[in-house]
């Protein structure tokens, strides 16, 4: 008996135990009346979880997500979340999330920076096990010297885990991406874990205006019977992989099985594009694509770029913008198309590595046009004035050559 | 006419710097202005530098993070100046021309070099004994931030007293979830006042004191408050 026909599970049109009406996702996202609120990103995480019919959540403190975790605890106390517990470390948290997801629960957790790396082994395991768990990564610095401030380097570690990775620019994105993320991640043809990323402090601790869906309306419950892999069946994959791991046998069948399983995860990621385009209104957002100079990035770097574009406009210089919403799957066709006429493709980033510039350079033609920078890291801010200055200086230097 | 007012608040952990920026931004939001506030601090502890930033204007604001080019710098604690407990050196680094500096004290704290730097920027420097006002009016130094907000509004008119009142009710009038340290301070201030209305009332009176002093100062200095476009 699937969740959608289980009489114990509230179905579309009926109320859950908190009186929220279970409503079709598209109705919630696109036609329900939104009300404006002025909230921090942490509060937005609570509000999105409240409306997402979450069965299970595990908490472990690490700045800058600790407030969000404790707010989810309040939701549990109020009866909006099925079950909630504290883990013993981030590694344990992610293992507990896996257990709950194997058991058929819709799972939510959140972590950041060093917590993400401590838990790391679990993420490719989740993807391989096809568990549609949602984690909000409130990214912060990961390297020594220690910092609690925002830095997007941790995303670079996540790129090849097989998880969907969506990067919210602001609190509004965070709210929408979290709810829509469950819908895409749980599609039978996708069924992968999703990391909804927001920049620590710049989003979590910043008060901003958010248009919220109604409080008394919630997403339909997760239907684990639509899982493309059987739930907790010891004889078939993915559990069979663990009971009887290929690591014990080295032969071409084990190699083939491993390779084909990874390819299937990759294919599932590809299949997420269709619904993601529909729900997020495209994998990228483009402004002035015919401009000679383009600023291309994700997260807070996009917000800072928007301000820089205003400063350029005041100077009479037209500068375009490409906002990347999904880092995985990477919108390569869209980026190629949006940047085809640009002379300079600048990639501002909140990390020293410049991984986003590498990602972009790997998909665009004539990639000498891709200029990594400006960069800030470890919690520094990126004033729009600095973006303008660096763009002007770099172009002047290039023209001199 | 200005299209953006950027306020940088520098103080020490526990002084309510973060709360000030949130209240100011909430008040601006009540006035149908666009506002963003965000704090920056290290691993939480009292007496360590803490900063918060409020950006307010009539058009949508994307800019966030540490405020590098402020119109107003608010110094919540003398140690910001005397011990360099700020995220920038000097504490007014990046202050825009004709900017404002509000300092919580009633004695001159500035070195000759700092005075010269501020004079070159044609900055308005306003000393307000915010902690003393907090003690006198609210009976607790925890209201220091209220006197500071009042002073800011007295010099800038960036929001109305009514909007501040509404923002205060939002922040202290209902259940609010904060991190450990802030929650402890919230409890301390709530215990201080028998009733929530009392707390709101005292806070508002403290704001009013800071506001009145700033208005009087502006009048004597022949200073016209910044007007928002």
* Residue A202 sits at the chain B interface (C-beta within 8 Å): yes
Q: What pTM value is reported for the model?
A: 0.92
Matching residue, tokens 């046009």? A369
Inter-chain residue contact B40 with A300, CB threshold 8 Å: no
For chain B, which residues score pLDDT lower than 70? 1, 44, 174-185, 193-194, 226-229
> Which domains, and CATH codes, for chain A?
9-226 (3.40.50.970), 286-400 (3.40.50.920)
Contact state of B63 with A202 under an 8 Å Cβ cutoff: no
Q: How confident is the model at residue A380 (pLDDT cuts 50, 70, 90)?
A: confident
Interface touch B66/A150, C-beta < 8 Å: no
Burial class (CB in 10 A: 0-12, 13-18, 19+), A394: middle
- Residue A118 is encoded by which pair of tokens? 């401590």
Q: Which one of A70, A300, A379 has the shortest CB-CB distance to B64?
A: A300
DSSP code at position A163: -
Using the Cα atoms of residue B127, residue B128, residue B129 and residue B131 in order, give the sign of their dihedral.
Answer: negative
From CA B171, how far away is CA A202, in angstroms rounded?
Answer: 20
Collect all residues with Cβ–Cβ distance below 8 Å to B146 and sequence separation of at least 6: B16, B134, B138, B203, B204, B206, B207, B210
Per-residue pLDDT tens over the stretch A174-221: 999 999 999 999 999 999 999 999 999 999 999 999 999 999 999 999
Residue B128, helix vs strand vs coil: strand
**Given this model, what pLDDT does residue A143 score?**
86
The answer to whether B81 and B103 have CB atoms below 8 angstroms apart is yes
Distance from CA of B220 to the nearest CA of A (A): 36
Of A66, A207, A307, the CB nearest to B37: A207
For A19-63, the pLDDT digits (tens) are 999 999 999 999 999 999 999 999 999 999 999 999 999 999 999
Instruction: Name every chain B residue with its beta carbon within 8 A of the beta carbon of A348.
Output: none
Chain B residues in contact with A67 by the CB 8 A cut-off are 177-179
Of the candidates B62, B178, B179, the beta carbon closest to that of A307 is on: B62
Residue A2's pLDDT is what? 64
Query: Pick the residue with more confidence: B190 or A348?
Result: A348
- Of the partner residues B42, B65, B177, the one whose CB lies closest to the CB of residue A202: B65
| CA gap A2, B126 in Å, rounded | 68
Min Cα separation B95/chain A (Å): 14
Closest Cα partner for A72 from A64, A62, A63, A83? A83
Residue showing tokens 């709360």: B19
User: What b-and-e string marks burial along B189-198, b requiring 16 or more CB atoms within 10 Å of the CB?
Assistant: beeebeeeee
Judged by CB atoms closer than 8 Å, whether chains meet at A71 and B43 is answered as: no
pLDDT, mean over chain A: 93
Q: What is the pLDDT of residue A260?
A: 86
Any B CB within 8 A of A37 CB = no
Q: How far apart are CA A88 and CA A73, in angstroms?
A: 16
The verdict on whether omega for the bond into residue A145 sits within 30 degrees of 0, i.e. cis, is yes
Q: What structural domains does chain B harbor?
A: 5-220 (3.40.920.10)
B64 close to A300: Cβ distance less than 8 angstroms:
yes
CB contact, 8 Å: A124 with chain B? no
Residue of chain B with shortest Cα separation from A43: B177
> Residue B220: CB partners within 8 Å, gap ≥ 6?
none
Categorize the per-residue pLDDT at A8 as very low, low, confident or very high, splitting at 50, 70 and 90.
Answer: confident
Taking an 8 Å cut-off on Cβ atoms, the answer to whether B62 and A303 are in contact is: yes
The distance of B179 to chain A (nearest Cα, Å) reads 6
Q: Which range is least confidently modeled, A132-141, A255-264, B32-41? A: A255-264
- In this prediction, residues A84-99 reach a mean pLDDT of 96
Distance from the B37 Cα atom to the nearest Cα atom in chain A, whole angstroms: 5
Tokens of B133: 């006002």
CA-nearest of A183, A198, A238, A185 to A116 is: A198
Sign, Cα dihedral of A70, A195, A157, A353? negative
Residue of B44, B57, B62 for testing the chain A interface, max A β-carbons within 10 Å: B62
Which pLDDT score, from 0 to 100, does residue A13 have? 94
Residue-level pLDDT at A352: 92
Q: Which residues of A touch B62 (CB under 8 A)?
A: 170, 303-304, 306-307
Q: Looking at beta carbons, which residues of chain A come within 8 Å of B26? A: 38, 207
Quote the CA–CA distance of A369 and A125 in Å, as a whole number: 37
Percent pLDDT > 90 in chain A is: 83
**Cα A392 to Cα A379: distance, rounded to the nearest angstrom:** 24
CA atoms within 13 A on the CB side of B181: 17
Q: Which of A107-116, A236-245, A247-256, A273-282 has the lowest mean pLDDT?
A: A236-245
Instruction: Name the pLDDT band for A1 (thresholds 50, 70, 90).
Output: low
- Cβ count near A121 (within 10 Å): 12
Whether the link from the prior residue into B90 is cis, omega within 30° of 0, is: yes
User: How many contacts (CB atoms, under 8 Å) link A and B?
Assistant: 70
Which chain B residues are Cβ-neighbours of A171 within 8 angstroms? none
CB contact under 8 A, B64 and A306: no
Q: At CA B147, angle to CA B143 and CA B151, rounded to 5?
A: 165
| Confidence at A233, pLDDT banded by 50, 70, 90 | low
Q: Is A297 touching B (CB cutoff 8 A)?
A: no
Q: Which residues contact B64 (CB under 8 A, 6 or more apart)?
A: A202, A206, A300, A303, A304, A381, B36, B38, B55
N-term to C-term CA, chain B: 5
Contacts A38 to B, Cβ<8 Å: 25-26, 29, 35
Question: Which of A75, A199, A208 is the best substitution to test chain B (most B C-beta atoms within 10 A)?
Answer: A208
**What is the pLDDT averaged over residues A236-254?**
68
Q: Do B63 and A38 touch (CB under 8 A)?
A: no
């Amino acid at each position: 008996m699937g969740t959608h026909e289980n009489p114990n599970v509230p179905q579309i049109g009926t109320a859950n135990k908190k009186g929220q009406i279970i409503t079709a996702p598209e109705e919630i996202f696109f036609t329900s009346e939104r009300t404006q609120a002025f909230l921090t990103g942490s509060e937005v995480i609570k509000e999105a979880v409240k409306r997402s019919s979450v069965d299970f959540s595990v908490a472990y403190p690490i700045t800058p997500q600790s407030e969000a975790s404790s707010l989810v605890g309040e939701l549990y106390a109020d009866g909006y979340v099925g079950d909630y517990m504290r883990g013993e470390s981030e590694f344990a948290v992610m293992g507990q999330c896996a257990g709950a997801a194997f058991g058929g629960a819709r799972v939510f957790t959140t972590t950041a920076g060093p917590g993400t790396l401590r838990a790391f082994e679990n993420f490719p395991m989740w993807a391989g096990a096809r568990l549609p768990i949602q984690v909000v990564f409130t990214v912060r610095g990961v390297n020594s010297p220690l910092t609690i401030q925002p830095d997007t380097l941790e995303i670079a570690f996540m790129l090849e885990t097989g998880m969907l990775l969506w990067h919210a620019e602001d609190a509004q994105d965070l709210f929408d991406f979290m709810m829509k993320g469950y819908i895409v991640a749980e599609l039978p043809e996708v069924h992968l874990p999703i990391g909804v990323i927001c920049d620590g402090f710049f989003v979590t601790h910043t008060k901003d205006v958010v248009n919220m869906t109604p409080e008394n309306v919630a997403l339909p419950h997760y239907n684990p019977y639509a899982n493309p892999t059987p739930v907790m069946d010891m004889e078939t994959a993915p559990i069979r992989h663990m009971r009887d791991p290929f690591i014990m046998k080295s032969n071409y069948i084990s190699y083939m099985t491993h390779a084909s399983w990874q390819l299937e995860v990759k294919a599932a990621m590809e299949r997420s594009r269709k619904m993601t385009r529909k729900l997020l209104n495209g994998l990228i957002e483009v402004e002035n694509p015919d401009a000679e100079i383009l600023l291309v990035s994700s997260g807070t770097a996009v917000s800072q770029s928007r301000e820089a574009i205003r400063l350029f406009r005041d100077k009479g210089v037209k500068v375009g913008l490409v906002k990347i919403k999904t880092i995985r799957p990477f919108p390569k066709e869209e980026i190629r198309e949006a940047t085809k006429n640009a002379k300079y493709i600048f990639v501002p980033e909140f990390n020293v590595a410049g991984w986003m510039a590498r990602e972009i350079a790997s998909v665009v033609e004539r990639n000498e046009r891709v200029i990594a920078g400006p960069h800030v890291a470890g919690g520094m801010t990126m004033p729009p004035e600095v973006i303008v200055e660096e763009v002007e200086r770099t172009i002047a230097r290039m023209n001199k050559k | 006419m200005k299209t953006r007012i950027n306020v940088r608040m520098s103080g020490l952990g526990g002084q309510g710097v973060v709360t000030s920026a949130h209240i100011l931004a909430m008040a601006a939001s009540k006035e149908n202005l666009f506002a963003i506030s965000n704090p920056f601090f290290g691993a939480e502890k009292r007496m360590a530098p803490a900063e918060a930033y409020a950006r307010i204007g009539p058009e949508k604001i994307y800019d966030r993070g540490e405020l590098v080019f402020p119109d107003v710098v608010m110094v919540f604690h003398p140690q910001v100046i005397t011990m360099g407990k700020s995220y920038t050196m000097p504490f007014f680094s990046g202050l825009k021309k004709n900017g404002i500096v509000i300092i919580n004290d009633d004695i001159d704290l500035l070195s000759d070099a700092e005075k010269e730097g501020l004079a070159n920027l044609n900055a308005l420097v306003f000393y307000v004994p915010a902690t003393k006002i907090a003690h006198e009016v609210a009976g607790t130094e925890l209201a220091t931030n209220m006197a500071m907000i009042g002073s800011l509004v007295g010099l800038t008119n960036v929001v109305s007293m009514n909007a501040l009142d509404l923002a205060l009710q939002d922040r202290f009038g209902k259940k609010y979830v904060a991190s450990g340290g802030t929650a402890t301070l919230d409890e301390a201030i709530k215990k201080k006042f028998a009733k929530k209305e009392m707390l709101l009332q005292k806070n508002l009176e403290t704001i009013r004191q800071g506001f009145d002093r700033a208005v009087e100062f502006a009048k004597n200095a022949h200073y016209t408050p910044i007007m928002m476009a």
